[in-house]
A and B are shown apart, each in its own frame.
Chain A
Amino acid sequence: MESNSALRVKNKNSSSFLTAFSTWRELGIVAVTLLLMGAITLRSPYFLNAANFEDILVAISLTVIVACGQMLAIIIRGIDLSVSSIVGLVAMAVGLFIRDKFDFPMGWTLVMGIGFGILLGAINGLLITLGKLPPLIATLASMSIFRGMVVVFSGGEWVNTYRIAPSFLQLTRRLVLGIPALIWFAILIAVGITLMMKYTRLGRQIYALGSNPNAADVAGIPKNKVTFIVYLISGTLAGLAGILWASRYGSVTNETGIGFELQTVAACVVGGVSVLGGSGKVLNVVLGAWLLGIIGNALTISNINPFLRLTINGVLIISAVVFDTLIYRRLGKQ
């Protein structure tokens, strides 16, 4: 054909170009983040404080855990907007449950919370596969529904530290090899998802489904099964994050988690996960979360209105997507 079919390109080396671009982009994010960190250090001495660093790592960890699930959804050309509500709901449910139960085994708490996350993720999965709702609509709806459930469960009350077992609070604080457990959770999840994507057939299927949904059927990829699993994982990870959130921050309100979905999408997209689907690595998520974590922290310690973070996240998402789209357009990806 004379006119370029969407996948044909003059540059025969577009694959190596793509790889080079990804690497440069990742390095770019790292560079920007380091520069930012340098700039903040100059402006504010509080930044290099160990306690402050811990705060940053906590935020990054929670983001990474949930954003890994979000990444999967974005790869298959979907999205999970409900993660913020799942975090809030699971946090509230667990919080209310163990309130005043000072002897309850923590292991079980963890299991319950994760189980609840699985349930909520499954609801999303069913809405999208059986209900055939577009992911945007389905998770928008579930985001509202789950958030509403938070108030139903809590009756308007909060859960506070003084009524929670210290052992629960320790869940995220206990040091293992000198590093708080929360960070370990994030590391575990990151490594786990990385291995899953690289070495399991499911991982290949997720990438394939996102890369060319039309070809997926012919190639024998069980679309509904894969889609369901993706949203299940996303919900599960959000549920896990919910418990960890409650444990770390020690209090749960009706607003816990609000806006977090934007954070996870931003982390993915800014970090390099393609909004067109079909590609993305955990490394992207980590880099994105790191940058966002630094920015968020910078805003806090500079006493800038934290809501400005929403604006900044939004601008970052747009910039990242525009930048990526320009590059992908060069490659002729449809």
Chain B
Amino acid sequence: MSDTQTNHKVILDMHNIFKNYEGVRALSNVHFNLRRGEVHALVGENGAGKSTLVKIIMGVIHPDSGTIKFAGEPVKISNPHIAQGLGIAAIFQEASLFPDLSVAENIFVGHEPMNKIGGIDWRKMNELAKEPLKELGVNLDVKRKILGLSIAQMQMVEIAKALTANAQILIMDEPSSSLTLHEVNDLFRIVKKLRDDNRSILFISHRLEEIFEIADRVTVFRDGQYIDTKDVKDITQEDLVRMMVGRNISQLFPKFEVQRGEVIMEVKNLKKEGLFENISFKLHKGEILGLAGLVGARRTELATTLFGITPPDSGEVYIKGIRVNIKHPRKAMSLGMAYVPENRQMHGLVLQSDITKNISLPIIKNFTKLLFVNRKKELIKAQEMHDKLDVRSSGLQQLAQELSGGNQQKVVLAKWLSTEPQILILDEPTRGIDVGTKAAVHELMGKLASQGLAIIMISSELPEILGMSDRVMVMCEGHLTGEFVRAEASQEKIMTAATARTLRDPAVSAT
């Protein structure tokens, strides 16, 4: 199945790549080839080795052994310069743009057009910058600074930058995770165009539906090993999942029966100026309430309001029938609430601290007598939660920043679960997490619900909403536009409600 060296269609050919990275066998006898004019998806659970491979392609790290051929010629990509020289570009979104510099400057950084006397030719640069943007169908003022652009626009600038550098290979890592549906469509249109221009796109994504939509071939890694490469048209989603996980996941989402308990939280006419209004709903013990909507629906804002981070302007919240005024997360926590934020790195973890400290953070008082912390008690609790959630780590003393995304999320969950909450708000709990860990998190959610925990689950992934929720609420631009029980929910109904206001349709009435 592999393309041989003489095949001109192959632009990047990697064989027998081994890499030990930070004490772990990151890649073991891995193969990968990329053809000209294809969109090639790279999938695998977290820790499978995808980002290690990408770092090697980009010249950030070197393989311990193995061969790399570019357009048939053996190469050694010793540093990012060489990678760039070969025409390899990575689309990182905000991570590699300069906010204080203009669009044109960012596009040409490092190779600004010069005038005859050796200075930067601003007029030429601004003129030339318009071309790739026009080609991409993007309308941007090239003189404006990057600061303030949306994620989608920044991606476009990155792509324009890659085009100007005549990139042959574009690497995109989870490019759609921060985009609206509309922006994703734009992105895919552009990816297809790049492919038709005979460029190659290496696409890492956890969103299997997208892979089937846009990729030509898909390569699967698992635990640092090469599993297989297939033409997308020849396989199904189940096949793909099986390759990734190595076992048959008959159901991605565990089925469970719910005995819905009494109302534990009731919200009436909650409003926050400029963000959301007229939010009313009830939450029962033992149920999972899915909160669906598009990016911008203001679901996270609702969550942070409920949890006391950004108190509401008006409206009432009742917990167990008693009216409460939650102005601070501490109050929310004392009422038995826990909030697992969307951005685990920024808001959920102390990256430079170890697992123990992260887990014990909200309950540290339990281990403190006078001024001193009983480290032993702390460790015991941390170990308990660590094992309960099956966190894969080198030990409790490992720093949070060294964990993979999925395990980081488990630590955040462990932290909040250790507070023994009654109401758990999860904001995109499985975003950016591999299938295996996703299933584990879902199973845990089901278990918690069956033990009486009330869960609000914010998710942008429809399969997750449909598979996990007992009831689904849909928000659109700060309003509740739909409410369905599990049996009557469907992708179409949810989508319709999620776009209700943007399409200027009369809002779907709440059931």
Contact = CB atoms under 8 A, between A and B. Distances in A.
Contact size class for A? 35 or more
A204 interface: yes
B119 A199 contact: yes
Interface string A251-290: 0000000000000000000000010001100000000000
Interface in A6-40: 6-9, 11-18
Interface in B408-449: none
A212 B97 contact: yes
Contacts of A219: 96, 98, 109-110
Interface string B12-40: 00000000000000000000000000000
Contact of A204 (B84, B97, B112, B301): B112
Nearest to A334: B99
Interface residues of B, number: 43
Contacts of B112: 201, 204
Contacts of A12: 148
Interface string B136-149: 00000100111111
B226 to A, nearest CB: 26
A204 B342 contact: no
Contact of A2 (B81, B122, B150, B298): B298
A220 B84 contact: yes
Interface stretch (B87-95, B207-215, B250-258, B496-504): B87-95
A207 B101 contact: yes
Contacts of A217: 80
Contacts of A207: 98, 100-101
A12 to B, nearest CB: 7
Contacts of A11: 148
B111 to A, nearest CB: 9
B297 A2 contact: yes
A331 B177 CA distance: 23
A43 B177 CA distance: 64
A211 B101 contact: yes
Contact of B99 (A1, A16, A203, A278): A278
A42 interface: no
A101 interface: no
Among B81, B99, B304, the most chain A Cβ lie within 10 Å of the Cβ of B99
A308 B292 CA distance: 60
B150 A3 contact: no
A221 to B, nearest CB: 7
Interface string B264-306: 0000000000000000000000000000000111111100100
B148 A215 contact: no
A332 B149 CA distance: 11
A220 B151 contact: no
A274 B145 CA distance: 15
Contacts of B98: 207-208, 211-212, 215, 219, 278
Contacts of B295: 1-2
A72 B120 CA distance: 19
Among A207, A220, A274, A333, the most chain B Cβ lie within 10 Å of the Cβ of A220
A5 B94 contact: yes
B154 interface: yes
A214 interface: yes
Contacts of A203: 120
Contacts of B110: 201, 219-221
Interface in B43-101: 80-81, 84, 90, 92, 94-101
Given A15-B147, A211-B98, A212-B99, 13 more contacts: A6-B94, A7-B99, A7-B146, A7-B147, A7-B151, A7-B154, A15-B145, A200-B119, A208-B109, A211-B99, A215-B95, A218-B92, A278-B100
Interface of B: 80-81, 84, 90, 92, 94-101, 105, 109-110, 112, 119-120, 122, 141, 144-151, 154, 177-178, 295-301, 304, 341-343
30 contacts: A1-B178, A1-B342, A2-B298, A2-B301, A3-B341, A7-B147, A8-B148, A8-B150, A15-B141, A15-B144, A15-B148, A17-B148, A198-B119, A198-B122, A201-B110, A204-B120, A207-B98, A207-B101, A210-B100, A211-B101, A212-B98, A212-B99, A215-B97, A215-B98, A218-B80, A218-B92, A218-B95, A219-B98, A279-B100, A331-B148
- Nearest 4 A/B pairs, CB to CB: A14-B148, A199-B119, A278-B100, A15-B144
Interface of A: 1-3, 5-9, 11-18, 195, 198-201, 203-204, 207-208, 210-212, 214-215, 217-221, 274, 278-279, 331-333
